[in-house]
Amino acid sequence: MSEPLVSRMQGFGTTIFAEMTALAVRTGAINLGQGFPDSPGPQPMLERAAAAIQGGDNQYPPGPGVPELREAVCRQRAQRYGLAYDPDGEILVTVGATEAIAAAILALAGPGDEVVVFEPYYDSYAAMIALAGAVRRPVTLRPEGGRFTFDPDELRAAVGPRTRLILVNSPHNPMGTVFTRDELEVIAALCREHDLTAVTDEVYEYLTFDGVEHVPLACLEGMRERTVAISSAGKTFSVTGWKIGWVTAPAPYVRAVQTVKQFLTFTASAPYQRAVAYALENEMAWVAELRKSLEAKRDRLITGLEAAGFTAFRPQGTYFVQADIRPLGFADGMELARALPGRAGVVAIPSQVFYDHTEAGARFLRFAFCKQDHVIDEAVARLSRLR
Q: Is the dihedral of CA 81, 85, 90, 93 positive or negative?
A: positive
Please select the residue that binds ligand PLP; options are 226, 243, 261, 298, rule is CB under 6 A: 243
Q: Are 288 and 208 in contact (CB under 8 A)?
A: no
Residue type, 66: V
Nearest distance in Å: CB 344, ligand PLP: 25
- Helix, strand, or coil (residue 244): strand
Note whether 238 binds ligand PLP by CB under 6 A. no
- Those residues whose C-beta lies under 8 Å from the C-beta of residue 6, and which sit 6 or more positions away, are none
Nearest distance in Å: CB 97, ligand PLP: 4
Binding mask 265-304 for ligand PLP (x = CB under 6 A): ----------------------------------------
Note whether 203 binds ligand PLP by CB under 6 A. yes
Note whether 122 binds ligand PLP by CB under 6 A. yes
Note whether 96 binds ligand PLP by CB under 6 A. yes
Q: Are 207 and 319 in contact (CB under 8 A)?
A: yes
Query: Would you say 121 or 313 has its CB closer to ligand PLP?
Result: 121
Note whether 201 binds ligand PLP by CB under 6 A. yes
Note whether 24 binds ligand PLP by CB under 6 A. no
How many CB atoms sit inside 10 A of residue 249's CB?
A: 28
Question: Which value, in Å, is the radius of gyration of the alpha carbons in the chain?
Answer: 20
Query: Would you say 97 or 104 has its CB closer to ligand PLP?
Result: 97
Query: Would you say 102 or 362 has its CB closer to ligand PLP?
Result: 102
CA 147 to CA 207: how far, in whole Å?
16
Note whether 234 binds ligand PLP by CB under 6 A. yes
Residue 159 CA to chain centroid, in angstroms?
23
Find the part of the chain contacting ligand PLP (CB under 6 A) among 37-45, 74-82, 238-246, 258-266: 238-246
Query: Would you say 229 or 344 has its CB closer to ligand PLP?
Result: 229
Nearest distance in Å: CB 15, ligand PLP: 13
Please select the residue that binds ligand PLP; options are 31, 34, 98, 273, rule is CB under 6 A: 98
Query: Long-range pairs for 357-361 at CB < 8 Å and ≥24 separation?
Result: 357/119, 357/138, 357/140, 360/119, 360/140, 360/142, 361/119, 361/120, 361/333
Please select the residue that binds ligand PLP; options are 232, 248, 316, 322, rule is CB under 6 A: 232
Find the part of the chain contacting ligand PLP (CB under 6 A) among 71-79, 102-110, 229-237, 302-310: 229-237
Note whether 173 binds ligand PLP by CB under 6 A. yes
How far, in Å, are 13, 49, 50, 265, 266 from residue 58 at the CA level? 34, 11, 11, 15, 15
Cβ burial 317-336 (10 Å sphere, 16+ → b, else e): bbbbbbbbbeeeebeebbeb
DSSP-assigned letter for residue 61: P
Find the part of the chain contacting ligand PLP (CB under 6 A) among 110-118, 128-136, 230-238, 332-340: 230-238
Nearest distance in Å: CB 205, ligand PLP: 11
Residue type, 335: E
**Whose CA is closest to 73, among 60, 57, 88?**
88
Burial class (CB in 10 A: 0-12, 13-18, 19+), 309: middle
Q: Are 100 and 233 in contact (CB under 8 A)?
A: no
Query: Would you say 150 or 330 has its CB closer to ligand PLP?
Result: 150
How many residues at the interface with ligand PLP, by CB under 6 A?
14
Query: Would you say 100 or 383 has its CB closer to ligand PLP?
Result: 100
Please select the residue that binds ligand PLP; options are 61, 65, 216, 245, rule is CB under 6 A: 245
Q: Where do contacts with ligand PLP occur on this chain (CB under 6 A)?
A: 96-98, 122, 169, 173, 201, 203, 232, 234-235, 240, 243, 245
